[in-house]
Amino acid sequence: MFGPVMQAKAAPEKEDEVIDWRDPVMRMFKFMHDKGYRVIDLLKRLDKDRSMSVDRQEFKIGLVAENIPMTEHQLDQVVTRLDTDKDGEVDMGELIRGERDFRKKMKARMRKMLITTKPDPTMARLMEIDEM
């Protein structure tokens, strides 16, 4: 063994505002953000029957076709977490709630970065504009 062994009685507390990039839902919204997709754009691409909701199979096939870097298990986790009404489909409202949570965490991350680093005047101004 190398180095000292530390014992802890409780797991460290996790902040709600911190983004966990291992979380498949956050990874999906990051992918959407990087590709420039809005929620409506993604829903239109995935919804082949034009019902404004996608079932588990449509969701997984559509995202795999978009070359999202996630496994089938991770895509199942995304559908399970986004489907808040448990009807087996992800609809527009559920996608919007998920994206809202993602944006809230991204803003908190940006604020934390601004506090801990020397503020860049451009970034500080962008944060002021975003809060208006």
Pairing of the two strands 89-91 and 53-55: antiparallel
Which CATH number is correct for 24-131, 3.40.50.1820, 1.10.238.10, 3.40.80.10, 1.10.540.10? 1.10.238.10
* pLDDT reading at 98 higher than 80: yes
- Residue pLDDT, tens place only, 27-85: 888 888 888 888 888 888 888 888 888 999 988 998 899 888 888 899 999 999 999 99
Q: Helices (DSSP H) in the chain: which residue ranges?
A: 24-35, 39-46, 56-65, 72-82, 92-116, 121-131
* pLDDT reading at 131 higher than 80: no
Residue 13 pLDDT? 54
Residue 20 pLDDT? 62
Tokens of 46: 């995935």
pTM: 0.66
> Mean pLDDT score of the chain, rounded to an integer?
79
Residue 118 has what DSSP assignment? P
